[in-house]
């Protein structure tokens, strides 16, 4: 039976009853009777009369219902040669004790706590401990520079900062404590306490009385019980980049988010209690919040926290080794990770060393999944590969193949269909709805389903201006795309990545797709640069696969012709640079705005502190100026 159309229609026509039914999958201290309460701006608060606790639902509930000895979390760190497992009972005890330590330092419901940690179990423990107390955590990616950390401290105004003595990047140890000390020096609203997890590989020097040694202090605390939290109370603040340069603190509620995650684990990922999910991301990003920590644990599944890379830790077989060793059922990472594997191991020789018999599905999200990467991964692994699309703001998938209720044929380039709850429309720039196969702005008709952002921390006006003002009655995603005749959604990239060439609006994402199809290309980006005659013209940058021997000139000519053949001369792609590296954030997203500034010869370029490899900027500046 094809249940998706019925479920999708029900979610839009009777959203209140639909989501109240999904809410029954969770344990509530006070079960909600009201589904949604609409706000003046057209958005909604969900389950306003419900009370629960996220940590209780994720841990205590499973212990109380017979899953106490099941493995909850696996820690695998190839960079430190460390492996650990935590049962649900053990993880609950660790979380309760650390919550007791936070409570001892006067953290209570509603207080903010900034977590600046590497990918170690204590990062997840800290998040869950905050949730246990009803405190609001804000995880900052471990590795952000002191200035970026200070900006987030000043915005969130935390009572406590939690950190570790160091992180490890491949074979390099990065002391975190000096970063934290400098951030606190720069901050205008410094925290009262800094709690430090000491790692043997590099212990930090503590400043008393402000700094607290996690391990030593833990021996003197009483485990904390779960606080009763309203469904509408905030669970966390997660900062994402903003067009003004000031990060936006996306606020996530507790009840709506819990319901949405539990629903998505079954509907989008098809993960059942007891199965193993390996999400290769970082807890500093929304993917880590939703599908390393909260989603799998709410489901009663086993989650893997991996401190390593897809390559070089030690090789391109890293993901496949983890999948075999722990019997992974579902693997989820960004397309960048699989492109890195493809670049290092194009024939997938490392894959032959491991068995993927338990692996059922592979998911990719976080950036546009180019069809060649999808096809390569599917061909080499023999597993279905699913593209799906969502954002930091949504917190869970907006478009996906709903394998848990109905599996649809895969169309490369498409993230398939809107997930139940999301009424997706393609709008022209004047707000009128477009027909099938016409590109426009991807918008979601209000109200948003549970789990999406409720506001920007401390700035409701910015929330309204950034997401609701452009198309009244809709949430503006900032992405462009179209629906085909079957209703499949194709996300073509950020709307600011649509360029205007002599009056023709062209998608750089479409050009990237064509370049990526070339067998010599490992990764690519297309940007629009200023042109006196045409306004803008596209310029391509490509990285060549390892082991490929071709001159830059020959490859450039071939790629220019490919785009001309596929799109036509109107595309005006005349330049393709072969480059050794592309500037990326630490989450793997290509910094296209920086590339545009370099190509336009902007003398005021500021290198973002979020960049993974600052050394490539001067290299690219010189090449793009030729």
| C-alpha span between 561 and 475 (Å, rounded) | 39
**pLDDT digit string, tens, across residues 9-66:** 999 999 999 999 999 999 999 999 999 999 988 999 999 999 999 999 999 999 999 9
Percent of the chain with pLDDT over 70: 95
- Residue 497: pLDDT band (50, 70, 90) is low
- Residue 573: pLDDT band (50, 70, 90) is confident
Whether the pLDDT of residue 493 is over 80: the answer is no
Domain annotation covers residue 191: yes
Last residue of a domain, one of 230, 257, 273: 230
Last residue of a domain, one of 178, 206, 230: 230
- Residue 502: pLDDT band (50, 70, 90) is low
| C-alpha span between 6 and 580 (Å, rounded) | 49
Domain annotation covers residue 262: no
CB neighbours of 474 closer than 8 A, spacing ≥ 6? 425, 427, 443, 444, 445, 446, 468
Tell me the CA distances in angstroms from 93 to 128, 224, 291, 307, 431, one per residue in order: 11, 10, 22, 23, 52
Last residue of a domain, one of 166, 196, 230: 230
Domain annotation covers residue 353: no
Domain annotation covers residue 74: no
Domain containing 97 — which CATH number? 3.40.50.980
Domain annotation covers residue 104: yes
Total domains, the chain: 2
Beta strands of 337-423 (E only): which ranges?
Answer: 361-364, 385-387, 399-400, 417-418
| C-alpha span between 314 and 62 (Å, rounded) | 35
Contact between residue 107 and residue 214 where contact means Cβ atoms under 8 Å apart:
no
- Residue 1: pLDDT band (50, 70, 90) is low
Whether the pLDDT of residue 588 is over 90: the answer is no
Domain annotation covers residue 579: yes
- Residue 235: pLDDT band (50, 70, 90) is very high
Beta bridge partners, 362, equal 331, 385
Q: How far is CA 30 from the centre of its chain?
A: 31
Whether the pLDDT of residue 504 is over 80: the answer is no
CB neighbours of 127 closer than 8 A, spacing ≥ 6? 115, 137, 139, 236, 283, 289, 293
Domain annotation covers residue 334: no
The angle subtended at Cα 452 by Cα 451 and Cα 454, nearest 5°, is 110
pLDDT at 255: 98
Beta-carbon-side half-sphere exposure of residue 501 (alpha carbons within 13 Å): 19
- Residue 500: pLDDT band (50, 70, 90) is low
Contact between residue 517 and residue 371 where contact means Cβ atoms under 8 Å apart:
yes
What is residue 584's DSSP assignment?
B
**pLDDT digit string, tens, across residues 104-139:** 999 999 999 999 999 999 999 999 999 999 999 999
CB neighbours of 221 closer than 8 A, spacing ≥ 6? 97, 100, 101, 103, 104
Q: Report pTM.
A: 0.85
Domain containing 606 — which CATH number? 3.30.300.30
Query: Containing domain of residue 157, as a range?
Result: 88-230
Mean pLDDT for the stretch of residues 528-539: 78
Domain annotation covers residue 2: no
pLDDT at 245: 54
pLDDT at 458: 95
């Amino acid at each position: 039976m094809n249940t998706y159309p019925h479920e999708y229609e029900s979610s839009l026509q009777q959203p209140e009853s639909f989501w109240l039914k999904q809410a029954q999958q969770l344990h509530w201290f006070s079960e909600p009777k009201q589904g949604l309460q609409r706000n003046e701006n057209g958005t909604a608060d969900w389950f306003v009369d419900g009370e629960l606790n996220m940590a209780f639902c994720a841990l205590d509930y499973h212990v109380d219902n017979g899953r106490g000895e099941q493995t909850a979390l696996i820690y695998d760190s190839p960079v430190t040669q460390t492996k650990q497992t935590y049962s649900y009972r053990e993880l609950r005890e660790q979380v309760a004790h650390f919550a007791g330590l936070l409570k001892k330092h006067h953290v209570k419901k509603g207080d903010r706590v900034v977590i600046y940690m590497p990918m170690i179990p204590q990062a997840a423990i800290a998040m869950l401990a905050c949730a246990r107390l009803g405190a609001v955590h804000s995880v900052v990616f471990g590795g952000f520079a002191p200035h970026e950390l200070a900006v987030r401290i000043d915005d969130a105004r935390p009572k406590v900062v939690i950190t570790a003595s160091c992180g490890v990047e491949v074979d390099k140890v990065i002391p975190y404590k000096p970063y934290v000390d400098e951030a606190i020096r720069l901050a205008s609203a410094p925290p009262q306490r800094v709690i430090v997890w000491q790692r043997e590989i590099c212990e930090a020097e503590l400043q008393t009385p402000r700094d607290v040694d996690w391990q030593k202090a833990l021996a003197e605390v009483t485990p904390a019980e779960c606080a009763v939290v309203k469904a509408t109370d905030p669970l966390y603040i997660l900062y994402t980049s903003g067009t003004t340069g000031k990060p936006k603190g996306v606020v996530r509620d507790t009840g709506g988010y819990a319901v949405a995650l539990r629903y998505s684990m079954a509907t989008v990922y098809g993960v059942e209690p007891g199965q193993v999910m390996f999400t290769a991301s970082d807890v500093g990003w929304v993917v880590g919040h939703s599908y390393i920590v909260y989603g799998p644990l709410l489901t009663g599944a086993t989650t893997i926290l991996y401190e390593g890379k897809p390559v070089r830790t030690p090789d391109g077989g890293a993901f496949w080794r983890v999948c075999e060793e722990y019997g992974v059922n579902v693997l989820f990472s960004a397309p960048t990770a699989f492109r890195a594997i493809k670049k290092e191991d194009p024939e997938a020789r490392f894959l032959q060393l491991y068995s993927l018999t338990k692996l059922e599905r592979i998911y990719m999200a976080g950036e546009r999944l180019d069809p060649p990467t999808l096809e390569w991964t599917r061909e080499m692994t023999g597993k279905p590969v699913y593209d799906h699309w969502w954002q930091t703001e949504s917190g869970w998938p907006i478009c996906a193949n709903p394998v848990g209720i109905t599996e649809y044929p895969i169309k490369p380039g498409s993230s398939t269909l809107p997930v139940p709850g999301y009424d997706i429309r393609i709008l022209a720039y004047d707000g009128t709805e477009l027909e099938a196969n016409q590109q426009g702005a991807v918008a979601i008709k209000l109200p948003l389903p549970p789990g999406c952002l409720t506001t920007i921390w401390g700035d409701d006006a910015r929330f309204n201006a950034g997401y609701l003002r452009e198309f009244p009655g809709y949430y503006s995603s900032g992405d462009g795309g179209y629906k085909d005749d079957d209703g499949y959604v194709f996300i073509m990239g950020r709307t600011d990545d649509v360029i205007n060439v002599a009056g023709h609006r062209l998608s750089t994402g479409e050009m990237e797709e064509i370049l990526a199809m070339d067998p010599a290309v490992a990764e690519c980006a297309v940007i629009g640069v200023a042109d006196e005659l045409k306004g803008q013209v596209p310029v391509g940058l490509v990285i060549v696969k390892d082991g490929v021997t071709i001159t830059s000139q020959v490859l450039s000519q071939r790629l220019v012709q490919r785009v001309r053949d596929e799109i036509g001369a109107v595309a005006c792609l005349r330049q393709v640079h072969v480059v050794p590296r592309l500037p990326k954030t630490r989450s793997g997203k290509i910094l296209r705005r920086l590339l545009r500034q370099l190509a336009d010869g902007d003398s005021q370029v500021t290198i973002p502190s979020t960049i993974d490899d600052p050394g490539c900027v001067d290299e690219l500046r010189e090449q793009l100026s030729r």
